[in-house]
Amino acid sequence: EPEVTQTPSHQVTQMGQEVILRCVPISNHLYFYWYRQILGQKVEFLVSFYNNEISEKSEIFDDQFSVERPDGSNFTLKIRSTKLEDSAMYFCASKLALDIQYFGAGTRLSVL
Protein backbone atom coordinates (compact mmCIF):
# COMPACT_ATOMS: atom_id res chain seq x y z
CA GLU A 1 0.00 0.00 0.00
CA PRO A 2 1.42 3.43 -0.94
CA GLU A 3 2.49 5.55 1.99
CA VAL A 4 3.90 8.94 2.86
CA THR A 5 7.52 8.60 3.97
CA GLN A 6 9.23 11.05 6.30
CA THR A 7 12.88 11.33 7.24
CA PRO A 8 14.50 11.50 9.68
CA SER A 9 12.24 9.99 12.33
CA HIS A 10 14.02 12.04 15.00
CA GLN A 11 16.07 15.18 14.54
CA VAL A 12 18.02 16.80 17.36
CA THR A 13 19.39 20.28 16.77
CA GLN A 14 20.80 23.23 18.63
CA MET A 15 18.77 26.42 18.94
CA GLY A 16 19.54 28.75 16.03
CA GLN A 17 20.48 25.98 13.64
CA GLU A 18 18.73 25.26 10.36
CA VAL A 19 16.88 22.00 9.88
CA ILE A 20 15.32 20.40 6.84
CA LEU A 21 12.58 17.84 7.28
CA ARG A 22 11.98 15.60 4.31
CA CYS A 23 8.86 13.93 2.98
CA VAL A 24 8.12 11.70 0.03
CA PRO A 25 4.38 11.97 -0.64
CA ILE A 26 2.35 9.24 -2.30
CA SER A 27 3.47 9.26 -5.93
CA ASN A 28 0.34 10.39 -7.78
CA HIS A 29 -0.82 12.85 -5.13
CA LEU A 30 -1.15 16.52 -6.00
CA TYR A 31 -1.66 18.35 -2.69
CA PHE A 32 0.93 18.41 0.06
CA TYR A 33 0.79 19.59 3.63
CA TRP A 34 2.83 20.10 6.76
CA TYR A 35 1.31 19.92 10.22
CA ARG A 36 2.91 20.00 13.62
CA GLN A 37 1.92 18.68 17.03
CA ILE A 38 3.54 20.00 20.15
CA LEU A 39 3.60 17.35 22.88
CA GLY A 40 0.19 17.08 24.53
CA GLN A 41 -1.44 19.54 22.14
CA LYS A 42 -3.54 19.30 19.02
CA VAL A 43 -2.37 18.81 15.47
CA GLU A 44 -1.92 22.24 13.85
CA PHE A 45 -1.85 23.13 10.18
CA LEU A 46 1.30 24.84 8.93
CA VAL A 47 1.15 25.04 5.15
CA SER A 48 -0.42 23.56 2.04
CA PHE A 49 1.29 23.27 -1.34
CA TYR A 50 -0.21 22.69 -4.76
CA ASN A 51 1.02 23.18 -8.31
CA ASN A 52 4.48 24.15 -7.06
CA GLU A 53 3.34 26.97 -4.84
CA ILE A 54 2.00 27.61 -1.37
CA SER A 55 -1.81 27.61 -1.45
CA GLU A 56 -2.35 28.45 2.21
CA LYS A 57 -0.27 29.00 5.32
CA SER A 58 -1.04 29.51 8.98
CA GLU A 59 0.13 32.21 11.35
CA ILE A 60 2.70 29.75 12.67
CA PHE A 61 4.35 29.58 9.24
CA ASP A 62 6.39 32.75 9.49
CA ASP A 63 9.54 33.84 7.65
CA GLN A 64 11.58 31.22 9.47
CA PHE A 65 9.74 28.48 7.61
CA SER A 66 9.87 27.54 3.95
CA VAL A 67 8.75 24.63 1.82
CA GLU A 68 10.07 23.27 -1.41
CA ARG A 69 9.41 20.51 -3.87
CA PRO A 70 12.87 20.29 -5.39
CA ASP A 71 12.10 17.36 -7.67
CA GLY A 72 9.16 15.20 -8.60
CA SER A 73 9.16 13.20 -5.40
CA ASN A 74 10.43 15.12 -2.36
CA PHE A 75 8.64 17.77 -0.33
CA THR A 76 10.72 19.55 2.29
CA LEU A 77 10.11 21.84 5.25
CA LYS A 78 13.00 24.09 6.25
CA ILE A 79 13.24 25.95 9.51
CA ARG A 80 16.01 28.54 9.17
CA SER A 81 16.83 29.34 12.77
CA THR A 82 15.22 26.92 15.19
CA LYS A 83 13.77 28.02 18.51
CA LEU A 84 13.05 25.93 21.58
CA GLU A 85 9.34 26.25 20.87
CA ASP A 86 9.79 24.58 17.47
CA SER A 87 10.21 21.28 19.31
CA ALA A 88 7.31 19.14 18.11
CA MET A 89 6.24 16.27 15.89
CA TYR A 90 6.06 17.40 12.28
CA PHE A 91 3.73 15.50 10.00
CA CYS A 92 3.67 15.56 6.23
CA ALA A 93 0.43 14.67 4.48
CA SER A 94 -0.66 14.33 0.88
CA LYS A 95 -3.82 13.79 -1.08
CA LEU A 96 -4.88 13.23 -4.66
CA ALA A 97 -8.03 15.24 -5.22
CA LEU A 98 -10.66 14.02 -2.76
CA ASP A 99 -10.44 15.40 0.74
CA ILE A 100 -8.71 12.40 2.28
CA GLN A 101 -5.25 13.30 3.51
CA TYR A 102 -2.77 10.55 4.31
CA PHE A 103 -0.16 11.22 6.95
CA GLY A 104 3.44 10.17 7.23
CA ALA A 105 4.85 8.71 10.44
CA GLY A 106 6.27 12.09 11.43
CA THR A 107 9.59 13.60 12.40
CA ARG A 108 10.20 14.38 16.04
CA LEU A 109 12.18 17.62 16.20
CA SER A 110 14.02 18.32 19.44
CA VAL A 111 15.59 21.77 19.76
CA LEU A 112 18.12 22.03 22.58
Partner 1 sequence: QKEVEQNSGPLSVPEGAIASLNCTYSDRGSQSFFWYRQYSGKSPELIMFIYSNGDKEDGRFTAQLNKASQYVSLLIRDSQPSDSATYLCAVTTGFQKLVFGTGTRLLVSP
- Pick 93 or 111: Cβ nearer partner 1: 93
Q: For the CB of residue 41, give the shortest distance to partner 1 in the complex, in Å.
A: 7
Query: Do 86 and 79 meet the contact criterion of CB atoms below 8 Å apart?
Result: yes
- Pick 74 or 89: Cβ nearer partner 1: 89
- Pick 42 or 71: Cβ nearer partner 1: 42
Spacing of C-alpha 2 from chain mean position: 18
Q: For the CB of residue 81, give the shortest distance to partner 1 in the complex, in Å.
A: 25
Query: Do 103 and 91 meet the contact criterion of CB atoms below 8 Å apart?
Result: yes
- Pick 19 or 33: Cβ nearer partner 1: 33
Query: Going by C-beta distance under 8 Å and a sequence separation of 6 or more, which residues neighbour residue 81?
Result: 16, 17, 18, 64
Tallying the residues shown for the chain, one arrives at 112
DSSP letter for 84, please. Answer: G
Cα–Cα distance, 92 to 102 (Å, whole number) = 8
Interface residues with partner 1 (CB under 8 A)? 31, 33, 35, 41-45, 48, 50, 55-56, 58, 89, 91, 93, 99-106
